[in-house]
Chain A
Amino acid sequence: MPPFFKYKKQKVHTDQSKDTQDSANHHVPEPIESSLSANLDSIKQKTGHSSDIIVRTIITGNTSLHKASVVYVAGLVDTQAINEFLIEPLQTNHDLLEKLYQQDGLDKVTKEFITLGSVHPVTNWDELFLSLMSGDTIILIDGSNKAWSASSKGGERRSIQEPSTQVSVRGSKESFTESIGTNIAMVRRIINNPDLWIETMKIGKVTRTDVSIMYINGIAKTEVVDEVRKRLKRINIDSILESGYIEQLIEDQTITPFPTIFTTERPDITAGNLLEGRVAIFVNGSPDALLAPALFIGFFQAVEDYYSRYDIATATRFIRVLAFFISLIGPAAYIAITTFHQEMIPTQLLIIVAAQRDSVPFPAFVEAIIMEIAFEILREAGIRMPKVIGSTISIVGALVIGQGAIQAGIVSPATVIVVAITAIANFATPSYTVAISARLIRFLFMIIAAVFGFYGIILGFIMLLVHLVSLRSFGVPYMTPLAPFIPKNLGDTIIRTPLWAEKIRPRLISSTDNPVRAGEDQKPAPPQKRGMKKKNTR
């Protein structure tokens, strides 16, 4: 979209992409030699004689003895599979190596002998190391300037566990693991459709991490998929350690506290979003999938909303949005009311608050800031605390902040209540990332409330809205479908309409060619045998 005036930024972008292309063109990979010993030597040399690189040389053959080597990295591979399906056939089947020397040897070998998954030829060192380091097994044969890479990924990994941050009472209890293959499979298991397309690429100059884009062809918007691909290709960085790296490198807007990409650890959420036309990005080693484009309202949608009935879902979602507001302006409103707008609360309430505040030495703002900061420290300490000490901290926190501070007369009970409600409200937001941004913005609101009261809060609120509205996630306005207002898609915002009434996919996100997601007449009804509508035929 055309921003009002932004020239310089675009220029910078084009320059950078040129640079990356140039550097990629200059690099010419070295080919593999035909001497086995020379190849083994250079492997050892290039890996610095690392002890986890295992080389096994096998001598076999009927007519003449042939040498072959199997190279793999200990721990990354499934050793049993290599022994059973690779080394054993090589040692026992003497025809094998001979056949390898013949024409089309590879085809035959893979078809007839090697019972491992996929085997493909490798001709240069770059490719060789890429597959070796990602857990494949390399087969080198004396006299051939080709190597074969057999897929043998394995080794110790965390098994599939219950989700830890996006917990739900109802629904699947699986969460993603660190293995990209497992993660993709988990989504495939939910969407059994050939239109679920996956593209994989390696990103990170040093780490060469596997990154996959997943989308449903025909539902996802082609422009968005292209944009995601383009942005991923643009990344030129040493390492991708977590999906957070990718997220920060492909965002639309960097100066904002709000996330413009959705992260999830649940396969069912991922599947649901794919079905709305979003693109998922998986990063090897990260148990979080990225989903784009993200909408602001999406951060308030918990997975259970879709599993439970619509009335309950609507009510809970309403509560969540309310909680977000409270966590944003709760303390600010308290400050504004007690220092500027005492006329706005009922007399009895004012008397109670005034009685509490009478003996407190600080202005309301300072009091609230002290409590907020104390709370933030407690929370930060709680996250990184060994679990054993966790309870100690919460006791100390509750005692010191709750009881002690009030009894010492440093803060008033009303402030504690406000801070506590705000803190609890903050946890009601299903998305951790948005909850954090609310925490941050809360302090700004408190400051402006202390200076200007409600006037400041309202202006701050307008500015926040303007900011939110100006954000875009992969070209889609962040506040869709509220602004731009799309009445047909309102069914899944602050309210959630019944599943049988939601007939259309989100307009700006999914492909426009194929917008219908449910058939006509989906509303369930009881069999019409009894009741008022039809007379009982007897």
Chain B
Amino acid sequence: MKRKWFFLFLILTSTSLISGCWNARELPDLAIVSALGIDKNEDGKYVGTFQIINPSYVTGGLQGGGGGQGPPVTVYSSTGDNIYELTRRLSTKSSRTLYYAHTNLLVISEDLAKKDGITNILDAFERDYEFRTTAMIVIAHRSKAEDIIKTLTPLDKVSAVKVIKTLKNAESLLGEEPTVTLQEVIRYLVSPGKEPLISGITLIGKKKNANKVANTQESSTPQARLESDGIAVFKDGKLVDWLHGKTARGTAWVLNRIKSTIVNISWEREKPAIEYTVMRQKTKVSAHTKKGQPQISIHIHAEGDIGEVSVPVNLNDPHVLRKIEIEVAKTIKKDVNDAIHRAQENKTDILGFGEAFHRSDPKEWNKLKTNWNDVTFPKLEVNVTVEAFVRRSGLRNKSYLSELKNKR
């Protein structure tokens, strides 16, 4: 017995001693990459920009750390023929191993997305066991990815966090720009019945000052700042168009991606008169064939509150509310139709109508699949029906504006 135990012990200790921690990485040896930007330079090589978190400057005021004196992030860049090479080439510049598990933002420059498309660069990210496919992907609109990465921001010290939070915030309050993760982009790139959309970010102001610590220390608007800016439309992996404002929101309506948004309607020819806040919505897209012709019907159901009125209107009156509801439905329908027309002009099915066909009629879809984006989709007949409901009108029923009117 004793010999056996000894044997077991020997195996255990020797394996653990020989092993010597291959995968062990101490935190001080890691460079935590928070964001990664990809550009292409004049030589046709990829330029990667890596935003690396400088932990002690981010947390600040901690014992052992130097306090919030230095910049919270450090930026490295490297060039290479493909993405994997980029990351490895960087080792000549960095004292620490780059660590991608916390990279939550991937920025791709507009140029690259337009000229070469994004199809060639995503494989490395998906394959890597560290990189998370839940990372958000954005397109640097009217600027280089590098500039976005280099920008220092106040409040959220790590600009990657700032970008992600801004986009998510905008998505949940305004609903114009649905955010997408790497995983979704790849899924739609592959799918024949849906094309990807990627939200855009832009750098506004003096680009030169963007990477200075001083940029974060002004109480007024920083000299250079990051703002969300439209959604990029892709076709065959290449950027073909940008959607802004209402068109973008119409797209979001169809994609069922609206969490909350505002709708401006006119009242008795005054425009804009009533602000309607969408609190809940549900969009159903169904596909069917009518007389051999593929058709799509979209049904949107929206519920919401009145946010603001700038004309005297009696919100106690159910008829008035009914009228408002009809008006809201009209406005939404217009947005949606605009968005559909824009997509059809672009000949790219960002709205996922193809997938709807695939689900409802797989046999028919097999015939349509090959020429979907270029032939069938642009001519597709789409019926949009919108139902809108006003649920509440805030703390007041009548606006004081109607009292003012009476006073005169």
Which residues of A come within 8 Å of B, CB atoms? 8-9, 255, 338-340, 342-343, 347, 350-360, 363-364, 406-407, 409, 412-413, 447-448, 450-453
Contact = CB atoms under 8 A, between A and B. Distances in A.
B203 to A, nearest CB: 23
B201 to A, nearest CB: 19
B64 A360 contact: yes
B64 A409 contact: yes
* Chain A facing B: main interface SS: helix
Interface in B54-74: 55-56, 58-59, 62-65
16 contacts: A9-B1, A342-B99, A347-B102, A350-B102, A351-B53, A351-B58, A352-B55, A352-B62, A354-B53, A355-B59, A357-B27, A357-B28, A358-B28, A358-B65, A359-B56, A447-B16
A340 B63 CA distance: 25
Interface in B124-164: 130, 132, 158, 161
Contact of A356 (B34, B62, B104, B130): B62
Given A352-B59, A355-B58, A347 B34 contact: yes
B172 to A, nearest CB: 20
Nearest to A338: B27
A406 B101 CA distance: 28
Interface string B23-61: 111111010101000000000000000000101101100
Contacts of B19: 451-452
Given A8-B1, A343-B130, A451-B16, A351 B32 contact: yes
Nearest to B160: A347
Interface string B78-89: 000000000000
A209 to B, nearest CB: 32
A359 B55 contact: no
Contact of B63 (A347, A354, A363, A413): A413
A451 B15 CA distance: 10
A340 B24 CA distance: 5
B63 A406 contact: yes
A58 to B, nearest CB: 63
Given A350-B102, A358-B65, A452-B19, A364 B26 contact: yes
Nearest to B18: A451
B395 interface: no
Nearest to B104: A347
Contacts of B30: 342, 354
B34 A412 contact: no
B340 to A, nearest CB: 38
B64 A358 contact: yes
Interface string B88-102: 000000000001011
Given A339-B27, A347-B104, 15 more contacts: A8-B1, A338-B26, A343-B101, A351-B55, A352-B59, A352-B62, A355-B56, A355-B59, A355-B62, A355-B65, A357-B27, A358-B27, A359-B65, A363-B24, A451-B21
A360 B21 CA distance: 19
A255 B8 CA distance: 14
Nearest to B132: A343
A538 B254 CA distance: 65
A448 B16 contact: yes
B289 to A, nearest CB: 47
A367 to B, nearest CB: 10
A343 B102 contact: yes
Contacts of B21: 339, 450-451
A350 B32 contact: yes
Contacts of A353: 27
A449 to B, nearest CB: 10
Contacts of A357: 26-28
B27 A354 contact: yes
Contacts of A9: 1
A354 B64 contact: no
Contact of B27 (A347, A364, A450, A451): A364
B101 A342 contact: yes
A340 B34 contact: no
Contact of B56 (A342, A358, A452): A358
Closest 4 CB pairs of A and B: A343-B101, A355-B55, A354-B55, A359-B64
> Which of B34, B55, B161 has the most A CB atoms < 10 Å from its CB?
B55
A297 to B, nearest CB: 28
A409 B102 CA distance: 26
Interface string B340-379: 0000000000000000000000000000000000000000
Contacts of B1: 8-9
Nearest to B24: A339
Contacts of A407: 63
Contacts of A347: 32, 34, 102, 104, 161
Contacts of B5: 255
A353 B25 CA distance: 14
> Which of A351, A352, A406, A413 has the most B CB atoms < 10 Å from its CB?
A351
A453 B25 contact: no
Contacts of B56: 355, 358-359
Contacts of B16: 447-448, 451-452
A360 B101 contact: no
Contacts of A453: 23-24
A8 B4 CA distance: 13
A406 B65 CA distance: 12
Contact of A339 (B25, B32, B34, B55): B25
A353 B65 CA distance: 11
Nearest to B53: A351
A339 B26 contact: yes
A90 B347 CA distance: 125
A4 to B, nearest CB: 13
A364 B21 CA distance: 13
A453 B64 CA distance: 26
B104 A351 contact: no
Contacts of A412: 64
Contacts of A451: 16, 19-21, 24
Contacts of B58: 351, 355
